[in-house]
């Protein structure tokens, strides 16, 4: 095990079989060693900086029906909302004054927002805050639409691949959504020049170690600038409402492996991780993550963006409470910085 972890640290890669072994035979000791190396790798490129992003969840309408997600179209038990351009610009203004230099516009796939409307919002944010980065996280679209948003000024795009196994993908999504289109989107984004993020849920229904290793090898091969992973958490009004949640333990172990596979990646310690375990956010950072994305949405809509149950949006998860987050990070030896926080090869 020790040799395997050393090899991962020096080569930044392992074979399929080696990764299976590293995951299936993990222990507290192997985790400790892995975290130490992951920390060292991260410090080489990013020091002890934690980059912060203001997350604006601008619509919880969605035309898709993913079996795991609380804002899926079939869920009639949620209160739907949409933010206006003015709402979004106000969030950014507030976020800017708080110290945020990246705004992440995340939403369900809501056809109400036309491509040109999104372009206009991106363009306006970049005009008002030329020193800021804009990240879009708005699902699957055509190459031309992604290109239009890039030209309007969008810098980054988050689109989790969800699972790198085609069969597993079909067990998490209705037939209308395909693995192939997901991959097509990710390759478009990269080709256009976005700093691109992919990722997956840990402990999603039907997931095996084989699937996870496929995810890791896909990530290694695709070389995204950003990788977001978090535990699957059931949402009671979805087909997976009775499933068990993924664990923080495996999530942080995988964060460390991803850090060593892609030492320069931007890796968030996600809200889902903070939601399944107290101090989850800190544990993610200690395992090699270097990004936090507190919620900058207007407070009256936060509870409605319920992709899973018991989602945190208070304390360090609230953008307004940057002081609390900075304090949490300081306590474990890290520093939140006022910076766009670009990928080191894209500055």
- Point out which residues bind ligand 5AD (CB under 6 A): 68-69, 160, 162, 201, 230, 232-233, 235, 272, 307-308
Question: Across the strands, what pairs with 49?
Answer: 335
Nearest-approach distance from CB 91 to ligand 5AD, in angstroms? 18
- Spatial neighbors of 3 by CB under 8 A, at least 6 apart, are none
Is the Cβ of residue 149 or residue 240 nearer to ligand 5AD in the bound state?
240
Q: Is 36 or 190 the residue whose CB approaches ligand 5AD more closely? A: 190
CB of 197 to ligand 5AD, least distance (A): 10
Count of residues for the chain? 347
State which residue, 201 or 219, has the beta carbon closest to ligand 5AD.
Answer: 201
Q: Which is nearer to ligand 5AD, 15 or 167 (CB)?
A: 167
38/104 with CB nearer ligand 5AD: 104
Question: Measured from the CB of residue 145, what is the shortest distance to ligand 5AD in angstroms?
Answer: 18
Nearest residue (CB) to ligand 5AD, 30 versus 235: 235
Helices 248-261 and 209-222: angle between axes, nearest 10 degrees: 30
Provide the minimum distance between the beta carbon of 90 and ligand 5AD in the complex, in angstroms, as a whole number: 23
CB of 45 to ligand 5AD, least distance (A): 25
The CB-of-17 to ligand 5AD minimum distance in angstroms stands at 27
């Amino acid at each position: 095990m020790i040799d395997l972890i050393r090899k991962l640290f020096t080569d930044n890669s392992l074979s399929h079989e080696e990764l299976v072994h590293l995951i299936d035979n993990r222990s507290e000791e192997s985790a400790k060693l892995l975290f130490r190396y992951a920390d060292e790798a991260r410090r080489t490129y990013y020091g002890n900086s934690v980059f912060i992003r203001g997350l604006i969840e601008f619509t919880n309408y969605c035309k898709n029906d993913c079996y795991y997600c609380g804002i899926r179209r079939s869920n009639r038990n949620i209160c739907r909302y949409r933010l206006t351009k003015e709402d979004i610009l106000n969030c950014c203004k507030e976020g800017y004054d708080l110290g945020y230099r990246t705004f992440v516009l995340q939403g369900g796939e809501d056809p109400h927002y036309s491509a040109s409307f999104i372009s206009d919002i991106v363009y306006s944010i970049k005009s008002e805050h030329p020193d800021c980065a804009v990240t879009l996280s708005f699902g699957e679209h055509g190459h031309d639409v992604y290109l239009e948003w890039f030209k309007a000024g969008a810098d980054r795009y988050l689109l989790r691949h969800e699972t790198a196994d085609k069969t597993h993908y079909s067990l998490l999504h209705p037939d209308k959504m395909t693995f192939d289109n997901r991959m097509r989107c990710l390759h478009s984004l990269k080709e256009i020049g976005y700093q691109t993020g992919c990722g997956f849920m840990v402990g999603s229904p039907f997931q095996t170690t084989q699937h996870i290793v496929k995810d890791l090898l896909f990530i290694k091969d695709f070389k995204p600038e950003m990788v977001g992973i978090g535990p699957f958490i059931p949402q009671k009004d979805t087909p997976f409402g009775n499933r068990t949640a993924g664990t923080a333990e495996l999530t942080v172990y995988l964060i460390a492996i991803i850090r060593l596979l892609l030492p320069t990646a931007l890796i968030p310690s996600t809200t889902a991780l903070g939601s399944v375990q107290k101090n989850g956010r800190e544990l993610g950072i200690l395992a090699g993550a270097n990004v936090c994305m507190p919620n900058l949405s207007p407070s009256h809509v936060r509870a409605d963006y319920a992709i899973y149950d018991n989602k945190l949006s208070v304390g360090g998860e609230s953008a307004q409470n940057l002081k609390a987050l900075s304090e949490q990070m300081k306590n474990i030896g890290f520093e939140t910085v006022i910076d766009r926080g670009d990928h080191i090869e894209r500055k």
